[in-house]
Structure 1
Amino acid sequence: MAAISRSRRPLALAAAVAVALGAGALAVTSASAAEAPLKDYELTWGIKQSYRSYVTGMAAGSFTPAGGATQAADNGAFTFAGGTGTYDSDTHAVRLGFAGSLKIASKLHGFDLTLSDVRFDSGAAEITADVTSGGTTQDDVPLADVTVTRTMTGMETRLTKEAATVLGSASYEGAAGDPLTVVQKTPPTQSPSPTGSPSSTSPSPTASTSPKPTGSASSTASPSASQTTSPSASASETGAATQGDIADGTLGWGVKQSFRTYVVDGPAKGRITASGGATQASGNGDFTFTEATGTYDTDADTLKAAFKGAVNFKGHEANGSYGLDLTFSGLTVELDGATGELTADVESLGRTSDDVVLAHLTADSSDLKAEDDVISLDDVTAELTKAGAQAFGGFYTEGTVLDPVDLSVALSDDAQLPDGDGDGNGGSGNGSGTGGSGDSGTTSGTTGGGGTTGSTTGGVTGALASTGSDVPTGALGAAAAVTVAAGAGVVIAVRRRRQA
């Protein structure tokens, strides 16, 4: 792993807090009388969902938490417990250090690193950790910048340049990380002051003050965490929520009909495989991606929804290698009024780039309306971006109109999605596919091809293109090795996949 440049050093935690004997009084030994000791905090952060999927999927690696750190089920987020530190009532800064470590390793891709001494500093608005790799430890490496909120729950994070080096991909620099939550494990029995300033009746700072890390506010405006995170918090007088979390949803998209035809019935003589929650309609039809998560705001007409599932296009096989091996996964739709973006993680010939903006979206209406707790948008126009054109290796040019996008998201657990039962099993794709005489393994919707598809993970099949700490990388278009000549004639430049 390359040496990590420490462009900034986080603020250290304040001096130690000693617990005095007797009636549980706390003796603060910090240099500033404004600093109050904090304890029993937990930090939950998943780093980045697509990175976790890469480690346990393509890299065939693992996460091993230890020393008080844990990981949620189904390759979920990580929690570091035992948080202690200080709260500065003058600057309203919360500085906490947490117990536990996280080992991230892949023998296949040749990386083995450990994160420890994880720290959160609301004043510096960052997460740091000590990073150990190859027997060398770098202290206080800034991993993410944080958009700090009063409740310290669901805070937005953005990965740093140093994090990109640690995670092995330059494409991670500036990318959105998983949301961060910092909470006290044992809630205080007394409602805290939202200003963060010591109460005149309680001048002695204690760990139970549960401070809010932002500036001053009215003493009567003491929002609880549930007021900012619960979808019902913004419910109208009629009881219909106008903003909150998406409970479920489906995305219908065919990528581009001519591309599907080219792969299955055209010169590529290949196959299409949907997996991981995605299905393909019969007759080489459209794809359906499922189990949406995200947020919505019908007052602001904004929506962001991420969907499970992957689709792989494979063709131009020669001696066991493929000139075309392209996978889209982690599809996300973000709308603001009538316009938005469709992003995805893109893998081409074993090389991966996360959060690629594939298409600009344009809906017929800028007004997001919910009917029976479901927001549905049909025939949303999708135009290929420059990055999307590179993802196709120049097969299509920027501005090309792709297949339209159909979107349905449920705003409550009991909402009924179109053509579904409201529990994530809806969608128009039936996954039956055509062709594909072999065993489909763990995938669904395999179209075309005459051989065995075998077991796949996340729509990725076959040998990996390369190994080492530089995987995943940001390379896209050059690896696709597919170009289109002018007019109706199609010329395919098939390039052998690099050997591992």
Structure 2
Amino acid sequence: MKRTTMARAALAATIGAAGLLALPATASAEQTDAAETCEVTGGSLSWGIKESFRAYISGSIANGSWETSDGATYETPSFGWTPATGSIDPQTGAGQVSFTGTVHFTGHDGILDMTLANPTVQFGEDGNATLLLDTRGTDTSGAVAVDVTQEPIAELGALGPIDAESGTATFADVPVALSEQGAPAFADFYAPGEALDPLTVSFEFACAEPEPEPTEAAADDESDVETTAAESDDSSGTPWLPIGIGAAVVVVAAGTGTALYLRRRGNQAE
């Protein structure tokens, strides 16, 4: 009985060694997908704000003026902003194009004080666009009535899809309608929905192509190459793979011989 138990133990050791040779090598790799984006690289915005408002400011009633700063300019009849920054999603058309610059209006000996700065054209997925501005303005008593950052001052309506392959987009003479949030900037002198001067915006952009996802076959090939390299290339220079296989063969042979020997001794004893 004892010899039989030893034979079975030797056989189990043999099978275990053979099983180690059959274990498959595995390798894992993380794949990061690069999302496709279009970065705005330049552009310009031209907008007169509202011709009748400019006439009122410079007229004998308000006896006021305006000045530009931080990159904004004025050339009759429009204010200008350039360059542009921002990003556009070429799949949905959503995104924004932003400009830097300030226009400051004053009148009525300082009672009227309004600042419009840093315009942003924001494009929605539905094709509609909105004009955002940093706005500060007083009411008819001279008290600050509004002081906000990047608020939707006006609606631009549907501007249409952006062709991502063209690398440029231009929307000329876009109708501009004062929003409910924008009315206080003009001391509620104009009601929401009032038509302001049309604007023109143009910009250039560059789209980054997404990294292609590897196919299943390519991923398997890469895993095989990494596994082979790990098995055959060791910093010590020792060929561990052949040695490991040879050792396993010796174990198998020894285990098999031991099992046969014990079985023969048991037969003779009987």
Q: TM-score range by the shorter chain?
A: 0.5 to 0.7
Give the corresponding residue for 1:393: 187
Q: Pick which of 297-306 and 257-266 moved more.
A: 297-306
Give the corresponding residue for 1:344: 133
Give the corresponding residue for 2:10: none
Q: CA RMSD in A?
A: 2.6
* Aligned residue pairs, count: 176
Q: Distance in 2 between matches of 1:323 and 1:388?
A: 19
Q: Distance in 2 between matches of 1:397 and 1:348?
A: 15
1:288 is aligned with what amino acid?
G
1:287 is aligned with what amino acid?
F
Q: Distance in 2 between matches of 1:410 and 1:291?
A: 10
Matched, 1:277 2:71: yes
**In the TM superposition, what are the counterparts of 1:41-440 in structure 2 within 5 Å?**
222-223=31-32, 227-228=34-35, 234=36, 243-282=37-76, 285-317=77-109, 322-336=110-124, 337-348=126-137, 352-363=147-158, 365-369=159-163, 372-412=166-206
Give the secondary structure class of the aligned counterpart of 1:391.
helix
Q: Distance in 2 between matches of 1:380 and 1:266?
A: 31
Contact 2:137–2:184, Cα closer than 8 Å, also in 1: no
Report the Cα offset of residue 297 of structure 1: 2.3
- Structure 2: any 5+ residue segments left out of the alignment? 1-24, 139-143, 208-270
Contact 2:172–2:200, Cα closer than 8 Å, also in 1: yes
Q: Distance in 1 between matches of 2:184 and 2:155?
A: 15
Report the Cα offset of residue 352 of structure 1: 2.9
Pick closer, same or farther for the CA change 1:244–1:221 going to 2, 3 Å: farther
Rg larger in structure: 2
Contact 1:310–1:330, Cα closer than 8 Å, also in 2: yes
Give the secondary structure class of the aligned counterpart of 2:115.
strand
Q: Distance in 2 between matches of 1:332 and 1:304?
A: 7
2:152 is aligned with what amino acid?
V
Q: What TM-score does the superposition give when structure 2 sets the normalisation length? A: 0.59
Pick closer, same or farther for the CA change 1:371–1:325 going to 2, 3 Å: farther
Cα offsets for 1:229-279 (capped at 9, x unmatched): xxxxx3xxxxxxxx3211111111111111111111251111111111111
Contact 2:176–2:198, Cα closer than 8 Å, also in 1: yes
2:98 is aligned with what amino acid?
A
Report the Cα offset of residue 298 of structure 1: 3.0
Q: Percent identity?
A: 31
1:362 is aligned with what amino acid?
G
Report the Cα offset of residue 405 of structure 1: 1.8
Report the Cα offset of residue 288 of structure 1: 0.9
Q: Distance in 2 between matches of 1:395 and 1:371?
A: 43
Contact 2:167–2:204, Cα closer than 8 Å, also in 1: yes
Q: Distance in 1 between matches of 2:181 and 2:81?
A: 22
Contact 1:370–1:376, Cα closer than 8 Å, also in 2: no
Q: Distance in 1 between matches of 2:29 and 2:161?
A: 34
Contact 1:251–1:288, Cα closer than 8 Å, also in 2: yes
Report the Cα offset of residue 346 of structure 1: 0.9
Cα offsets for 1:80-139 (capped at 9, x unmatched): xxxxxxxxxxxxxxxxxxxxxxxxxxxxxxxxxxxxxxxxxxxxxxxxxxxxxxxxxxxx
Higher helix share: 2
Contact 2:117–2:133, Cα closer than 8 Å, also in 1: yes
Give the corresponding residue for 1:485: none
**In the TM superposition, what are the counterparts of 1:441-456 in structure 2 within 5 Å?**
none
Report the Cα offset of residue 348 of structure 1: 2.4
1:222 is aligned with what amino acid?
Q
Q: Distance in 2 between matches of 1:412 and 1:369?
A: 12
Report the Cα offset of residue 303 of structure 1: 3.0
Report the Cα offset of residue 366 of structure 1: 2.0
2:104 is aligned with what amino acid?
N
2:86 is aligned with what amino acid?
G
